[in-house]
Amino acid sequence: MCYDPLTTKGESGNVRRTMRKRFLSCIAIASCGALTAVAQNGAATKTVSISLHEALGRALQQNYTIKLGYFTPQTARLQLEEIYGAYDPVFSAGASHNYIQAPGFFDTTLNQPFPGAETWSQRYEGGFKGALPYGTQYELTSRLDRSQSESEVGVDSTAIYGSRVGVAVTQPLLKDFWMDSTRANTKVAKIEIKRADLALQYTIMGVVRETTQAYYDLIEARDQVKVREMALQLKDQFLAETKKKVAAGTLASLDEKQAESEAATARTDLIQARSTAEQAENLLKGLLFSDFSSVHTTTLEPSEKLLAMSQ
C-alpha cells in the first residue's frame, strides 16, 4: 500500500501547517535577499571595533541632553553670583573746583577803599558703602578741602587745607535680622544649584546605563545570530540525511516534510535574529553618534564578550 501524506487521514492538518511555514519562509528569504542586494549596491561597509569604555566616552561627548544639561548648573551659579552682588561694596569718588571773583569797591561810610579778591577752592571726596548679611550696613567716607585767595593789591594768602574721615555702621535690632529678601534668594539659588547638579548626574547615569545596555544587547544579539546560524546548519544537515533515508525507504515522506518545516523555521529564526542585531546596532549608533547618516554604512563590532559566570 502506497503511503501518501497528503491524503492520509489524521495528518492532513500537519501537512497544511508545514506548507504554510514553507510559504512564509520563502517570503522572508526573498525579502532578506532584496535587502542584501540593496546593501550591496550601496556604499561599502566598514567594521569598527569599539570597547565599552570607548562607547561610554563617545556617548557622553555626543549626547545633546548632557550638553544642554551643563548649562543649567552654570546658569544657577550665575544667578547666585548675581544675588551676591547685593553685598558688593559700592565705591564712589568725586572732585569739585570753585572760583569766586569779588570786585573792589569804595565804602563811603568808612571813607575807605576795599580791594577786590579772587578765591579758589577744591574738594576731593571718596568712599564706599555696602551691606552685610543680617542687615548690617557700613559706610566709609573721606574728604579733602583746599582753599586759597588773592587780592588785587597782590597779597596772596596761605592755602588752607582741611580733611575729614568718617566710618558709620548700622545694625538694626529686629528688622531683617532673621531673614530678608537677599538671604532668601540666596538659599533658593543654592538649592537650585544642587537640584541642577543632581539632574545632570541623573542624566549622565541614564546615558551610561542606556549605552551599557545597548552595548551588551548588541553582543547578545550577535551571539544569537551565531547560534541561529549553527542551528540552521544542523537543520539543513538533518534535512539532507532525512531525504537520503526517505529515498532509501527507511523513513516516510512525512518525516521529510517535517524536517523541511524545521529547517524553514530555523531559517526564519535566523532572519529574525539578524534583524534584531541590526536594530540593536542602530540603537547603539544613535547613542554614540549625533549624525547617524555618517555611520549608517559602518558596522560596530564590540571588542568585549559575554562570559558565563560559574556557580
The predicted model scores a pTM of 0.59
* Residue 58, domain member (yes or no): yes
232 & 282 share domain? yes
Total number of domains constituting the chain:
2
Q: Is residue 151 part of a domain?
A: yes
CB 257 within 8 A of CB 18: yes
Residue 222 included in any domain: yes
pLDDT for position 46: 84
Q: Are residues 57 and 117 in the same domain?
A: no
Read out DSSP for 194-206?
A: HHHHHHHHHHHHH
Structural domain of 152: 88-178
Question: 150, 178, 206: which is the final residue of a domain?
Answer: 178
> Is there a domain that residue 59 lies in?
yes
Task: Say yes or no: 286 and 241 in one domain.
Answer: yes
Contact 136, 89 (CB under 8 A): no
Asked whether residue 111 falls in the same domain as residue 247, the answer is no
Q: State the pLDDT at residue 281.
A: 92
* Same-domain pairing of 173 and 197: no
Burial class (CB in 10 A: 0-12, 13-18, 19+), 228: buried
Query: Looking at residue 261, what is its pLDDT?
Result: 94
Look at residue 100 in the predicted model and tell me its pLDDT: 82
User: What are the backbone dihedrals phi and psi of residue 217, each rounded to the nearest 5 degrees, phi first?
Assistant: -65, -40
Asked if 53 and 154 sit in the same domain, the reply is no
Tell me what pLDDT residue 311 has.
59
Residue 228 lies in a domain: yes
Residues 200, 290 share a domain: yes
Consecutive H or E run containing 185: helix 181-248
Q: What is the pLDDT of residue 110?
A: 74
Is the domain of 93 the same as that of 234? no
Same domain membership, residue 96 and residue 58:
no
Backbone torsion region of residue 229, taken as left when φ is above 0, otherwise alpha when ψ lies between -120 and 50, otherwise beta: alpha
Confidence at residue 39, expressed as pLDDT on a 0 to 100 scale = 43
1 domain-assigned = no
Cβ(123)–Cβ(145) under 8 Å? Answer: yes
Q: Is 6 inside any structural domain?
A: no
126 and 41 in a common domain:
no
Statement to judge: residues 246 and 200 lie in one domain: yes
* Residue where one domain finishes, among candidates 178, 204, 227: 178
243 within domain boundaries:
yes
Where among 145, 178, 211 does a domain terminate? 178
* 281 lies in the same domain as 213: yes
pLDDT, tens digit only, all 311 positions of the chain: 343 433 344 444 444 455 555 555 555 554 445 444 444 444 457 888 999 999 999 999 888 888 888 888 899 999 999 888 888 889 999 999 888 877 777 767 777 777 777 788 899 999 989 888 777 889 999 999 988 877 766 656 677 888 899 999 988 877 766 777 888 888 899 999 999 999 999 999 999 999 999 999 999 999 999 999 999 999 999 999 999 999 988 888 898 899 999 999 999 999 999 999 999 999 998 888 888 788 888 899 998 887 766 65
